[in-house]
Structure 1
Amino acid sequence: MSSLNQLHTLHVACSRGLESLLAEELLQLGFVSARARVGRVTGEATLENAYRAVLWSRLASRVLLQLEESSAQSAEELQEWLALVDWSEHLLPEGSLAIDVIGTTPQLRNTHNTALQAKDAIVDYFRQQRGQRPSVEKNRPDVRFQLRFEKGHKTLLNLDLGGVGLHQRGYRLQAGLAPLRETLAAGLLMRAGWPRLYAEEGAALLDPFCGSGTLLAEAAFMALDIAPGLLRPWHGLENWLGHRPKLWQDLCEEAEARRAAAASRELNLEGSDQDARVIQMARDNLERAGLLHQVRLIERPLNALPPAFAERGLLITNPPYGERLDELPKLAGVYAELGQRAVRDYPGWRLALFTNNQELAYRVPLKPYKNYPLQHASLECRLYLFEVPQQQAGSLTEASSRTDRLQGEPSVAAPMPVVLSEGAQMFANRLGKNLKKLARWVKREQIECYRVYDADMPEYALAVDIYGDQVHVQEYAPPASIDEGKAQRRLMEALQAMPSVLGVSADAIHLKQRRRQSGKQQYEKFGGQGVFFPVREGQVQLLVNLTDYLDTGLFLDHRPVRLRIGQEARATRFLNLFCYTGAATVHAAVGGAIHTTSVDLSNTYLGWLERNLKLNKVDLKRHSRVQADCREWLKQDRGAYDLIFMDPPTFSNSKRMQGTLDIQRDQVELVHLAMQRLSTDGLLIFSNNLRGFKISPELEEDFEVVDITRKTLDPDFERNSKIHQCFEIRHR
């Protein structure tokens, strides 16, 4: 057994970004040296101070005591080396073990197989020496070992003194979505200066997105001098044969005494969340930690956040990040409001914002004085720190007193006025100008769905469409020459401006990114909300879906064409090729067509058409729906039609069709096939959205072709005259 003064090499793991903080903490805990490396700190300490790190470190995820070092790189070398280790110094023959492997070598590339080989070496040792073998226990072994392969042909055998990840304090049995690890939460608080703010200024702390209460609990542990390991029900060192029980017991008793001495300290901590279920999780977790009497928990949304309840404090939070594109419209407003409320209602406080979305962080109308990169699970995040400037603040009202807060009835602050950045204001001005320009036309024609902005300013490459009281936003993917950060910032500015200009809530804005689609991508879902709602166009109602597909079910630029079809369809046989969701078919049916036939490759869209027909109370027996490749179907069909609408995609290589479709190349074949089905005095309306499309001279020779593109563009698409090209084609 080693002496108490012997120095051991320790490898202390942590989240990436916390290494320098952890090194400082370990030195304060008595380590002789501490060198920060990526994701860990290597240092030297006595066994007592290694134990102290297990008990007191707020940042360490594992404390690993180095047992042996080797240059083993192959399976044979590993077996030979491990056979020489005296495992009886660490583990009883009837005990249990687990072994983790970190890293690989050219010969040992599979960590799972390497762990099995190491386990076999330990088991073989005990069989040969003692005639018994230990068992393997993954969750709570007597001893947990770690094999680590480092660069430079160095292999380490370490003992995990904690036995489990040290973020498992013992109080958090419930957590919401993507919760902060306790060790990371402690790191955020340290980076934000919470220990000094509390110790020197008695500062308050507020988390307006408190989730399961992790930041609140860790802040309270720091202020009340509570060792984070005290609540842990079990530690891996306790069954290690090299364990010094008296040493560990003395450290635990010292920690208990420190907790008792600080128990009378007054804290001013508050957490809130709009989700009652999450607040209950936080309450349960804080109760297990013995902190419920020290922390106020209030169910409320951000827009009900009251004014500051102390002169100095830390507003620290980990709000939603917006990992899905459709979450960004709402979150742009959330981050902006958080920052604006901090500026207005929390003068003299410090704001600490943890997020993986830089552009959301920039919605805060303050410049961060510092930001720190930190790893949160697989996400690269940053902690942004802001000093909220002092300003003349009114006295705290009785309604926002501690008594009312304890009763859970804080006063509700006045609505937060929207403060836009220069770029957001520029976008808002253009959007408002367009809205005003279109207003008279929209009212006169009773238009419910229209485009209000279409990349009018190249810097803001968006299409903004109104669908009743909802807004559909498509971000055009920026070219490679445009800095991705700038493009993201401009998107956030536009999203921040839209609610106030358009008079909608952020929840009513639906964002998608438009990239070139091919093959099945045209039909694939990328959302699963399944929310359809009807909008009116002329005499018909049409179902749209703003969340689940790239397109909404209604191409707004073809509104004039559809309305014309409705007028000309009376007593005709109508054919809709590449029919999509069948909006033109519905217009024809309601307009009095004798019969309609709609053809599309997608059964999803044909089902959508059926729902549109039912919505308009149309007799389905007179309206055929065919799932087929339009080109191949035309070759087989023998029907006759008086009015045909054909709006093929620019390009398609779907596996469900024969070959590929290139509209510039294949226009002659498609039009000829359609004209074979058109009655002598019938009309084919042929459209596509290829910007550089040129009608074939061969078609102009064979048929009467009239370019009607300009006539098919309403005021909302006048600026984008290339959005589609449209032709009338008749027999000569």
Structure 2
Amino acid sequence: MIADTPRQWLATCPRALPPVLAAELEALGATDIREQQAGVSFTGTRAVMYRVCLWSRIATRVLLPVGEGAAGDADALYATLLEIPWPDLLAEGASIAVNFNGTNSEIRNTRFGAQRSKDAILDKYRAAGRAPPRVNPEAPDLHIVVRLHRDHIDVALDMVGESLHRRGYRRAAGDAPLKENLAAALLLRADWPQLAREGAALVDPMCGSATLLLEGAQIAADQAPALGRTRFDFMGWQGHDPEQWSAVHSEARGRAERGLAAGLPEIRGYDADPKVIRRAEENIAAAGLAKWVRVSVKALGEVRKPTHVALPKGLLITNPPYGERIGRKDSLPQLYRHLGELLHREFAGWQAAILAGDREHGRSLGLRSHKQYQLFNGRLPVTLLLLDLEGNRLADGDALVARKDLEIDIPEAEALPELSDGAEMFANRLRKNQRKLASWLKRSGNECYRLYDADIPEYAVAVDRYGDYLHVAEYKAPAQVSEAAAAQRLNDVRQSLPAATGVSADRIVFKQRERQRGKAQYEVRGDEGEMLSVREGEARLLVNLHDYLDTGLFLDHRPLRLRIAAEATGLRFLNLYCYTGSATVHAALAGARETVSVDLSNSYLRWLGQNLAHNGLAETRHHLVRADVMQWLREGDELFDLILLDPPSFSNSRKVPGSFDVQRDHGGLLNLAMQRLAPEGVLYFSNNRRKFRLDGEVSERFAVKDITRSTLDPDFQRNPVPHQCWEMRHKTLQGVADSAKK
């Protein structure tokens, strides 16, 4: 056995991880540990170095420093390299490659620096009368690392070769894979080794390629991360002792066998994308951990704490999208908010570790973190948030509040303040409408509904309730009504609403609403950007009461959305002129196999993305398409089982030539849409044009049923009806073929 004396070593690692690496090195027997910016120097014997190469979950390389000196120019570089006793360092017959890093005013090219360094090493052998080593840039036995900083170089032998973060199990990765050593660092910071010893479960609700799960499983199994590696660069080092290495490796193999034999805790991962889960399964199989690590397709909103075994505690750890390479930035606050609600609702008593790409996203969780660590995922700055979910209260954000089981109080007449005759008349009608809707509201659980719609002609406003907010849209006063009279009536409305509904004045939003054509109804009216979360059926939808004339949720279409939810399970759903995508959210939550939502507005597609994220739904299965609907229908041939077609009454967008008029153009639009309907599918056609008449040719070509009345809830069952709606199917399979030809 070759004498094993202590030496100085350098273990490199990603930025911000030297403290984690230092603790790991100490546990492996290293001494004189000193943290650097991107690594840790330490003293240890050859056996310690072997253990670091085999067991370190954080290090990327282990280097043996062999020399340093001047390198102000090519000649000085050559002279410094020539002084190093290379024949005493390199194993006989070992091939080499030089990794040169850095430049200065004289050495301006790393390839030139590597070539000059290589010349010095080979010349050292020739000067000693020995055959020089073979140079093999692609697969050398030993890498020589030369680092140039200004006019000085440090020279080291790489004991590792391929970076230690490559464990060998990754067969496939997602769009933004988490490096294995960063994943291990997150687990160590979250105290997973101790939790695993206590039998705690490990869950990743957005597992991607399963890196966190596999690193967690290896830790729980006491398995050295480099155990499966067959080649290290130290095997090309003159000081390598194969017998000692065999003993260190054999010990690690025995520990892993005993760890797996003892069994692992529950380790589960989920992802909404089936393709991602297939990649994760490949990685798990490659790691030999398929018996213990299980993954399945589930959107974030469907994730639940494992219940088939007794799990008093566990760690939920995940790396959500950052919005840099994957994910929509504007959807991420809702995604994090939904994640926070999931943690609070399903994982009480557990620990959580969330790698947030932005501090604001972390705050969107709504939960208090007891520790934060600033890290880097590649070059991206990220923050690890550690949360104790025992008694961690979910904060109600000012702009994003989900409300359930809202109780409606109907003030009695005597509770009203002194009102004018007109204001009292208006207040009495509000109370009457509320009582009339009360039993329906109790049965349905709806918290968003129309309370009043110009029931008294003199008070031409629409009053909609959104949770504990009111949205009041004032219609344009008739020409015979003076501005002063209209202002007085609006003042009566303002005075009456708080007392008659129990909603405080600061939660009542007023807008003047005129009859609009085309895009005017969608234009921005403000820039507050405040989103309110409201519940409809199983969906939570984001509405904006301030910035647009409409709020992002057409209340009269509620029954149709719920009908789609009831029919969408396992189907492909197409939402044309999707607006903010509330129907898409319903279909997705109901288990639609896939959804496609088409709209020309970037603003509303972003809103839809936020709605999906707010419900824990991934865009991997729910596709957002920015396009002119008619052009998109002409250019494709995919079929859908369920289609919602709800076009505007009129549109003359600058983004497309010409204009669209639903009365004039609906025949051609329906023909195109029906070509996309599967033979046994159903299309729902709806529009809000008051005097709309369906073209008779449509009924001749397709099986058409007017379902308008069945798509109106009690809060909209008044004349005139707010919309018209038809159910359409193909009459025969031959009809499908004829439709496609036309």
TM-score bracket, shorter-length normalisation: 0.5 to 0.7
* 1:510-659 equivalence runs, <5 A: 531-534=627-630, 581-583=656-658
Which residue in 1 is equivalent to 2:227? 230
> In 2, distance between residues paired with 1:449 and 1:145?
68
Change (3 A) 1:237 1:439: farther
Q: CA deviation at 1:89?
A: 2.2
Which residue of 250, 260, 265 maps to 1:263? 260
Q: CA deviation at 1:504?
A: 13
Q: CA deviation at 1:115?
A: 1.6
2:285 is aligned with 1:249: no
> In 2, distance between residues paired with 1:505 and 1:197?
30
Change (3 A) 1:70 1:391: closer
Q: CA deviation at 1:503?
A: 12
2:233 alignment partner AA: G
Q: Secondary structure at the match of 2:62?
A: strand
Q: Is contact 1:315-1:349 (8 Å) kept?
A: yes
Structure 1 portions without partners, runs of 5+: 393-417, 473-490, 511-526, 536-540, 544-555, 564-578, 592-611, 618-732
Which residue in 2 is equivalent to 1:480? none
Q: CA deviation at 1:233?
A: 2.5
Q: CA deviation at 1:109?
A: 3.7
* 1:468-487 equivalence runs, <5 A: 468-471=577-580
Q: CA deviation at 1:264?
A: 2.5
Which residue in 1 is equivalent to 2:236? 239
* 1:184-583 equivalence runs, <5 A: 184-199=182-197, 201-268=198-265, 269-309=267-307, 310-323=311-324, 327-390=328-391, 421-424=397-400, 437=473, 450-451=521-522, 453-457=524-528, 468-471=577-580, 499=611, 531-534=627-630, 581-583=656-658
2:167 alignment partner AA: R
Q: Secondary structure at the match of 1:99?
A: strand
Q: Secondary structure at the match of 1:174?
A: coil
1:617-652 superposed Cα distances (whole Å, 9 cap, x missing partner): 9xxxxxxxxxxxxxxxxxxxxxxxxxxxxxxxxxxx
> In 2, distance between residues paired with 1:501 and 1:281?
23
Change (3 A) 1:90 1:529: farther
Q: CA deviation at 1:501?
A: 14
Q: Is contact 1:330-1:506 (8 Å) kept?
A: no
* 1:34-45 equivalence runs, <5 A: 34-45=33-44
> In 1, distance between residues paired with 2:166 and 2:335?
31
> In 1, distance between residues paired with 2:280 and 2:338?
24
Q: Is contact 2:101-2:110 (8 Å) kept?
A: yes
> In 2, distance between residues paired with 1:176 and 1:501?
19
Q: CA RMSD in A?
A: 4.7
TM-score under structure 2 length normalisation = 0.59
Change (3 A) 1:329 1:420: farther
> In 2, distance between residues paired with 1:231 and 1:40?
24
> In 2, distance between residues paired with 1:92 and 1:40?
27
Q: Is contact 2:2-2:241 (8 Å) kept?
A: no
Q: Is contact 2:335-2:614 (8 Å) kept?
A: no
Q: Is contact 1:101-1:114 (8 Å) kept?
A: yes
2:91 is aligned with 1:20: no
Report the more deviating stretch, 103-112 or 305-314. Answer: 103-112
Change (3 A) 1:581 1:244: same
Q: Is contact 2:580-2:608 (8 Å) kept?
A: no
2:13 is aligned with 1:3: no
Which residue in 2 is equivalent to 1:696? none
> In 1, distance between residues paired with 2:528 and 2:277?
44
Q: Which has the higher contact order (CA 8 A, sep 6+)?
A: 2
1:177 alignment partner AA: D
> In 1, distance between residues paired with 2:618 and 2:48?
52
Which residue in 1 is equivalent to 2:165? 167
Change (3 A) 1:372 1:8: same
Q: Secondary structure at the match of 1:44?
A: strand
Which residue in 1 is equivalent to 2:729? none
1:188 alignment partner AA: L
Q: Secondary structure at the match of 1:385?
A: strand
2:139 alignment partner AA: R
Change (3 A) 1:459 1:273: closer
Q: CA deviation at 1:69?
A: 2.2
1:303-362 superposed Cα distances (whole Å, 9 cap, x missing partner): 111235422110001122112697134433322211101101101111111132222222
> In 2, distance between residues paired with 1:458 and 1:333?
14
Q: CA deviation at 1:248?
A: 0.8
Change (3 A) 1:456 1:123: same
1:42 alignment partner AA: S
Percent sequence identity over aligned pairs: 31
1:316 alignment partner AA: I
Q: CA deviation at 1:78?
A: 0.8
Q: Is contact 1:93-1:132 (8 Å) kept?
A: no
> In 2, distance between residues paired with 1:248 and 1:226?
17
1:455 alignment partner AA: G
Which residue of 178, 181, 185 maps to 1:180? 178
TM-score under structure 1 length normalisation = 0.59
1:159-194 superposed Cα distances (whole Å, 9 cap, x missing partner): 110111001112222222221111111101001111
> In 2, distance between residues paired with 1:277 and 1:582?
38
Change (3 A) 1:443 1:254: farther
> In 1, distance between residues paired with 2:306 and 2:347?
5
> In 2, distance between residues paired with 1:141 and 1:431?
72
> In 1, distance between residues paired with 2:289 and 2:616?
41
Q: Secondary structure at the match of 2:252?
A: helix
Alignment length (residue pairs): 500
Q: CA deviation at 1:297?
A: 1.7
> In 2, distance between residues paired with 1:77 and 1:219?
48
1:63-112 superposed Cα distances (whole Å, 9 cap, x missing partner): 01111122333211110111222222233675421222233344334333
2:337 alignment partner AA: A
> In 2, distance between residues paired with 1:82 and 1:189?
41
1:45 alignment partner AA: G
1:247 alignment partner AA: Q
> In 2, distance between residues paired with 1:52 and 1:431?
66
Which residue in 2 is equivalent to 1:486? none
Q: Is contact 1:226-1:258 (8 Å) kept?
A: yes
Q: Is contact 2:175-2:325 (8 Å) kept?
A: no
> In 1, distance between residues paired with 2:610 and 2:152?
57
Q: Secondary structure at the match of 1:424?
A: coil
> In 1, distance between residues paired with 2:475 and 2:612?
16
Which residue in 2 is equivalent to 1:622? none
> In 2, distance between residues paired with 1:504 and 1:321?
15
Q: CA deviation at 1:276?
A: 2.2
Q: Secondary structure at the match of 2:43?
A: strand
Q: CA deviation at 1:205?
A: 0.6
> In 2, distance between residues paired with 1:30 and 1:123?
36
Q: Is contact 2:91-2:236 (8 Å) kept?
A: no
Report the more deviating stretch, 456-465 or 262-271. Answer: 456-465
Q: Is contact 1:57-1:228 (8 Å) kept?
A: yes
Change (3 A) 1:22 1:542: same
Q: Is contact 2:331-2:613 (8 Å) kept?
A: no
Change (3 A) 1:435 1:90: farther
Q: CA deviation at 1:384?
A: 1.1
Q: CA deviation at 1:57?
A: 0.7
1:331 alignment partner AA: L
1:305 alignment partner AA: V
Q: Is contact 1:144-1:163 (8 Å) kept?
A: yes
